[in-house]
Amino acid sequence: MTEPLILANATLVLPGETRTGLVTLSGGIITDIADGTSVPTGAINFEGDFLCPGLIELHTDNLERHIQPRPKVDWPHAAAIIAHDAELAGTGITTVFDAMRVGSIKAKEARYGQYARSLATELLDLRTQNALKISHFLHLRAEVCSETLVQELDEFGDADRVGLVSLMDHTPGQRQFRDMSKLEAYVKGKHGFDDAGFAAHVAGLKRMRDEYGDLHEIEAVKAARRFGAVLASHDDTTSDQVAVSAGHGIHLAEFPTTVEAARACREHGIKVMMGAPNLIRGGSHSGNVAAKDLAELELLDILSSDYVPAALLLAAAQLGEIWGDMARGLATVTSSPAAAVNLTDRGSVEIGKRADLIRFRMRAGVPALSSVWSRGRRVA
């Protein structure tokens, strides 16, 4: 858009506070902010609804769900990407770091084939064609317990918008799945393994971790530096694991699984990100620490929708209730993730920032989203 647009009589979610006012958008950025309930001619009257920065999603499996909606079902990638983009826009997410696994297992029966490079190319091509509603970056999930991580990382470069690299280690019996019964239920449900297939799966992963794990961890750290991307840890469980993460220069921890790990993150200056579904459900589906517990202990900084895009706004509003501060709750999905990945042009309602904005009101304790703007353009 080029003509100014005024969003008036809104409850503005500003850094550290909420207050009534209006925002003017022009040329894709915020050009003015004023207090009061006045509604100038031609303005959109928010009637007191919240006007909040667009949500920033750092870790979502949603694109993978679209390209493979069922086991063994491969969906056309362009169609999947466009549908994923539209779904996120419809939930208030205006910036996403699309998670793609790098690090594969060659055996076909393992069902962890290589896909990230080709999918990223298709996504970036659609972005170049202005076919997408919101802003996309890449989040490479570097699986150290694999065979091909180094080769796959080498396929990415400066032009690929890699903003985040996370160190993933899904070796059975540790981190997310210390409880092997939880892992067994998850893997059998996802891949249809019988007892023998599950046992072979576990043995194969442990063998690969022994053979490649240390090298892959080193190479993933190097790759993040090469891309200029933020490096994140994943599923830290102990203070010792957090110390290793800090030694790598990690400043963002995805889903620490214990209070011990979250406290260690705070001591090392590492931001803690937890899953919005965990907060909404009241606990982790893997039996790990509850996000609500970390929030009440002042050990939670950022939320991720993880596997339910619509969870992001709802969980942030719930944090606002828990903390008694809506602006603080919403910061976990706006300004805090923006700061964690060094995005200085978005994440807050301030003059000069991108006009990525959402409108919602609370209904029966649930945020009802009504409008979404990306760079000043209405996208939902």
pLDDT digits (tens, 9 = 90+) for 102-118: 998 776 545 567 899 99
Number of Cβ within a 10 Å radius of residue 179? 13
One-letter identity of residue 197 = G
Angle (CA) 63-93-349 rounded to 5° is 155
- Decide: pTM greater than 0.95: no
* Residue type present at position 279: L
Taking CA atoms, 123 is separated from 127, 142, 164, 295, in Å, by 6, 19, 16, 35
CATH topology identical between 1-53+346-380 and 55-344 = no
Residue type at 214 in one-letter notation = D
3-state secondary structure 113-133: CCCHHHHHHHHHHHHHCCCCC
Token representation of residue 83:
């549908």
The rounded Cα 338 to chain-centroid distance in angstroms is 11
**pLDDT for the residue numbered 2:** 57
Nearest to 51 by CA among 359, 363, 373: 359
Rounded to whole angstroms, how far apart are CA atoms 57 and 96?
5
Q: Are 122 and 82 in contact (CB under 8 A)?
A: no
Q: From the options 3.30.420.10, 3.90.180.10, 3.40.50.970, 3.20.20.140, give the CATH code of 55-344.
A: 3.20.20.140
**In this structure, what are the phi and psi dihedrals at residue 163, rounded to the nearest 5 degrees?**
-100, -15
- Give the integer Cα–Cα distance in Å for 212 and 209: 5
Residue labelled with tokens 């249809």: 192
Q: Are 64 and 70 in contact (CB under 8 A)?
A: no
Strand 302-304 versus strand 5-14 pairing type: unpaired
What pLDDT is attached to residue 190? 63
What is 330-353 written as a DSSP string? HHTTTHHHHHHTT-TTSSS--TTS
Q: Which residues of the chain have pLDDT under 70?
A: 1-2, 107-112, 170-193, 197-198, 200-204, 206, 210-211, 213
Token readout for 109 is 């029966």
Residue extents of the structural domains in the chain: 1-53+346-380, 55-344
pLDDT of residue 286: 73
Residue where the block lists tokens 């059975």: 172
Cβ pair 139, 119 in contact under 8 A: no
User: Which residues, 6 or more positions from 142, have their beta carbon under 8 angstroms from its beta carbon?
Assistant: 102, 103, 149, 153, 165, 166, 167, 168, 216, 220, 223
pLDDT of the residue at 229: 98
Got the DSSP string for 160-185? G-EEEEEEE---TTSGGG-SHHHHHH
Question: What does each C-alpha distance from 108 to 72, 105, 114, 171 come to in angstroms?
Answer: 12, 8, 11, 19
CATH level 3 topology of 1-53+346-380: Urease, subunit C; domain 1 (2.30.40)
Count the Cβ atoms, other than its own, within 10 Å of residue 227: 21
DSSP category for residue 380: -
